[in-house]
Amino acid sequence: MSSKPTLRLDWCSHAAAKFAVEHWHYSRSLPTPPLVKVGVWENEQYIGCVLFSRGAAQHIGSPFGLDNTGVAELTRIALAAHLTPVSRIVRVALKFLRQSSPRLRLVVSFADPSHDHHGGIYQAGGWLYLGQQSSTVEFIAPDGKQWHGRMISPTGRKKVYGEYRPVWRPDQCRKVTMPGKHKYVMPLDAAMREQITPLAKPYPKRSRAGSVDSDTLGFHPGEGGANPTPALHETAAD
């Protein structure tokens, strides 16, 4: 019988997070900063990262009475081949996040059905399901990356968290209609769980056998190992 793999989570560098997302996540791009970058090591080998951020919606906490210091979005789970169930990796990442950000009360994440995701990872981790959002119009840029309408501007510039940044114009992109994403939340304290539990809905079922976000071993096409970053601090254990 094989031994249980060792799992270690710690902060990782921007370069390590960028490598993981570009190689092991379908988006191939980092989310909008600021980012909390949690690296994942299995058997002392760097296998990817879990990224938290403010998310695309600046008022993501408003429905729950929270400002941006009380809520975060889990925006990327970018992992190479691994043995540890993804739900366990996410659970330890949440523990690590809470230790560093004690004011956080809620984490939000989305599962994208256009990529055969139904949220099996979150279901296995006991997240609460708040339903499927409405379909959206998104934009495929000339470089192949897909952007929400909030990140496109006719002027080619967009103010993001107080700073103007270059973005694609609608006339440069191809419009596509996307199915609404499944919304999951993880309350981080008893009061927030009590507030949100009445809003929870039954979990959606997997659309087809073999959905890629089921809580199984992470052996996906094109994945492989990478060297761990040297900058380590305290270690979070399961």
Q: Quick one: 1-132+181-238 is in which CATH superfamily?
A: Gcn5-related N-acetyltransferase (GNAT) (3.40.630.30)
Cα-flanking dihedrals φ and ψ of residue 149, to 5°? -55, -25
Helix (H) and strand (E) counts in the chain:
4, 12
Provide the edge-to-edge strand list for the sheet that holds 174-178: 146-148, 136-140, 174-178
Cβ contacts of 196-200, under 8 Å, gap ≥ 24: 196/64, 196/106, 196/128, 196/130, 197/128, 199/128, 199/130, 200/128, 200/129, 200/130
Please answer whether residues 5 and 231 qualify as being in contact, where contact means their C-beta atoms are separated by less than 8 angstroms. no
Q: Which of 49, 36, 15 is nearest to 218 (CA)?
A: 49
In this predicted structure, what is the pLDDT of residue 47?
98
What does the block give as tokens for 134?
């409405």
Give the pLDDT of the chain (238 residues) as one tens digit per residue.
Answer: 457 889 999 999 999 999 999 999 988 889 888 899 999 999 999 999 999 998 667 788 999 999 988 999 999 999 999 999 999 999 999 998 998 899 999 999 999 898 788 999 999 999 999 999 888 888 999 988 888 888 889 999 988 767 888 999 999 999 999 888 999 999 999 999 999 999 999 999 876 644 445 554 443 333 333 333 333 333 444 4
**Which sequence spans correspond to the domains of the chain?**
1-132+181-238, 136-178
Buried b (16+ CB within 10 A) or exposed e, 132-164: beeeeebbebeeeebbeeebbbeeeeeebeeee
Task: Return d(Cα 139, Cα 173) in angstroms, integer.
Answer: 6
Q: What is the reported pTM?
A: 0.78
Cα-flanking dihedrals φ and ψ of residue 56, to 5°? -70, -35
In this predicted structure, what is the pLDDT of residue 201?
97
Tell me the C-alpha to C-alpha distance, in Å, between residue 61 and each of 67, 85, 151, 208. 6, 29, 19, 32
Kindly tell me the sign of the dihedral angle through the C-alpha atoms of 233, 17, 213, 201: positive
* 88 class by beta-carbon count within 10 Å (0-12 exposed, 13-18 middle, 19+ buried): middle
Q: Which residue has the tokens 């408003």?
A: 62
